[in-house]
Amino acid sequence: MHEMAIAENLIKIIREEMKINGADRLRSVLLHVGALTAVVPEALSFSFGLIISGTELDGADLIIESIPLRGICADCGREFEIREFEFVCPGCEGTDISELSGQELSIIEMEVG
Amino acid sequence: MREKQTVMKIEVVRNILEANDRIALENRAIFDSNALLAVNLMSSPGAGKTSLLERTIDNLKSELNLGVIEGDIQSSHDAERVAKKGIQVVQINTGGACHLDGNMVRNAFEKLDLSLINLLIIENVGNLVCPAEFKVGEHFKAMILSVTEGDDKPSKYPLMFRESEALLINKIDLLPYVDTSLDRIREESLKVNPGLVIFEISCKTGQGIMEWCRWLREKI
């Protein structure tokens, strides 16, 4: 259940950004969570809700957008969605695959005011 | 009069674990300045991390100076086991946290004399999920899967298999008693991480330990 630690880090960043932007009320936060992370969105939402309850952030929505795992084959250049975590090119069966997306664990946008 | 409220969007785009990543990078720089190789060793509970450490220390201590950071939720049993081998060891108790992070490892290695160590093994908390998400400053990650855990784990816990440079399949002495297929573990692991270096070992009998230690020796 490392989602609690992730939520704590997230809230630190939110507070920093609110201070920088002179905002005092948080309405919502948008996250990108890649398919290759080991984060369970429900556990992250639960942890987030638990930490902000009774604080100045209480009531804010956490919006989690899942980002699919995509890769590019070094041999043939094909870009494809990696399904079932099989890092094999569907075109040439090459296995030298770099991730294009799917590793994100990022805060993208906040709605305040 | 009702107060006028303006809703504003703030673009942020920051990695949520950026603070940990920063500490991990600093840790790595400290390891580099002491010319030591740091390995983050991960597995589920009971797969054999501490037994592998004992075997590895026995094999390498005549030629290398080893240091160990033991991560556990509670207790110092593992550190006591390793300390018997006469090497520098420090115990971290995470007090509930299911993984080590950069800061915990920083606080731990400050208790070690890094200038006397060439190989630092950081034994993470037993867990196949969370430790893979947090860098601690290691040069590479290695993981253990024991044959009693079954052969379907790579596709169930892909992040750890993807992040690891080496996979040690432990307890192969128990293969006659379980339905696990070594071929399937290999096949499934290599799908997730085609570059994975795989060792078949038994910490009980010592089988395969030499190959692992030779590989580790060459990394330094």
Whole-complex ipTM: 0.92
| Per-residue model confidence as pLDDT tens digits over A18-31 | 999 999 999 999 99
| Per-residue model confidence as pLDDT tens digits over A75-87 | 999 999 999 999 9
CB contact under 8 A, A108 and B158: no
CB contact under 8 A, B20 and A105: no
Helix (H, G, I), strand (E, B) or coil at B36: coil
Distant-in-sequence contacts of A96-99, Cβ < 8 A, 24+ apart: A96/B194, A97/A71, A97/A72, A97/A73, A97/B194, A98/A71, A98/A72, A98/A74, A99/A36, A99/A69, A99/A70, A99/A71
CB contact under 8 A, B194 and A95: yes
Point out the residue among A12, A23, A105 whose CB comes nearest to the CB of B8: A23
Place of tokens 């084959």: A73
**Distance from B7 to chain A by nearest Cα, in Å?**
5
Positions of chain B with pLDDT lower than 70, given as ranges = 1-5
CB A41 within 8 A of CB A33: yes
Q: Give the number of A-B residue pairs with CB atoms closer than 8 Å.
A: 103
CB contact under 8 A, A109 and B8: no
Its pTM stands at: 0.93
Cα B90 from Cα B51, distance rounded (Å)? 17
